[in-house]
Amino acid sequence: MALPKMLSVDGELSCFTNSKFVSNGDYPDNLSRIASLEKSKAAIDEITQWPGYTATPLYSLINLAKDTGVDKIWYKDESKRFHLKSFKALGGAYAVARQLQSRVAEVTGEEPSVQDLFDKKFTEIVSQTVISCATDGNHGRSVSWGCQMFGCQCVIYIHRDVSPGRQQAIEAFGATVIRITGNYDDSVKQADMDAKRHGRIIVSDTSYEGYMEIPKDVALGYTVLLSESVEQLGDEIPTHVFIQGGVGGLAAAVCAYFWELWGELRPRFIVVEPENANCLQQSARAGSPVIIKGNLDTLMAGLACGEVSALAWEILSIGTNDFITVNEASVPLTMRLLAQGINGDPSIEAGESAVAGLAALITARHSEVDSQRLGLDRSSRIYILGTEGATDPEMYAKLVGSDG
């Protein structure tokens, strides 16, 4: 079965090859203060002991790879992560636990274990603690889920474009949800301002001036899925990684983990963003972080970000080979392709933000120019991180269709 031509977009991908990419295989020592294999071990050891934990699947899409004209496509399916259907379940909830441990230690002088939090040994302290963040949907679900598990209060800020379904999913975990009229970056600023006024703790997946430490714990939570992936890959190493952009937190965690682990053998690292929310690509072009203003309109709600995470940029600005954007029209088409499966490949539930990397790969393989630019050929082995499932079931059904 040949891939439908409709999955390609007219013309070439918008691609910027990073002139500041560091080809040296050694992971820079100065970046170890942000993320490292050593630091990730504690998060991995902790989260893999949580109730309900199981490793999510890494599918080898044999027939899709054949029809795309590459050797292998590995798809890490985060639609099965806990019951939140998103990789975000790992980061936000882990950072909530770390903050509650710190708060209890501040009051009692002794840091509790996470099991102590599960066992509700410090209910009086924890129940008076208020955790807050801004979200496009999935991070807020993770934070609110963590707050519910451990028994603290939760206030989540969403922006005007977050769907009612995603709002309801957050509220289902007992969080108070505040919707603002601005975009995602405006909601981040509002959450931060209100937290300072009311004494709340912000657990954000983006970092900015004056707020650098907690996002490190969020990113460390994500390394659980990377540890799983490496074990599932066995002795194989991908030649390419296509990874979603957003504020850059996930991309930076993946880049750092694979860079330190595989050194000179690390894959070509390609960051993918929506055309209307490409703050990472524009920052790479400018040589420093650029803020995109406006409505950041995109189907990929989890990637509708206009401002780069400061910590993530330190890694991505030198660890990314290419920054590319993906056409909006390819998103629902790729979702349907995964839902249907290709000639015996598994049917996969992939949400809007999950398919950015795969849509970009397929688009690139329809173009000889883009394939050459990204070093893609029949020997390429591609790692795709499917970040979410149907986190908004109504939206998923609308985009995939009844025959998806």
Which positions are annotated as active-site residues?
88, 136
Nearest residue to 187 via CA among 238, 247, 228, 267: 247
Q: What is the identity of the amino acid at 279?
A: C
Contacts with 199 (C-beta within 8 Å, 6 or more apart), sequence order: 130
Distance (Å, whole) CA 60 – CA 382: 10
Q: Which segments within 136-264 are labelled E, that is strand?
A: 153-158, 176-179, 201-202, 240-244
Look up residue 144 and give its two tokens.
Answer: 């609110």
Q: How far is CA 2 from CA 153, 336, 342, 370, in A?
A: 52, 15, 10, 19
How does strand 72-77 pair with strand 58-60? antiparallel
Report the length, in residues, of the chain: 404
| CB-CB contact of 382 with 267 (8 Å) | no
Look up residue 81 and give its two tokens.
Answer: 């992560």
Nearest residue to 221 via CA among 242, 203, 195, 241: 203
Q: Taking CA 30 as the corner, what is the angle to CA 27 and CA 34, rounded to the nearest 5 degrees?
A: 90
Look up residue 338 and give its two tokens.
Answer: 């995964």
Nearest residue to 17 via CA among 200, 197, 196, 268: 268
| CB-CB contact of 24 with 245 (8 Å) | no
Name the residue with tokens 């209307």. Answer: 276
Distance (Å, whole) CA 218 – CA 211: 13
Distance (Å, whole) CA 375 – CA 238: 13
Nearest residue to 272 via CA among 138, 383, 397: 383
Sheet of strand 153-158, all strands in order from the earlier edge strand to the far edge = 176-179, 153-158, 130-135, 201-202
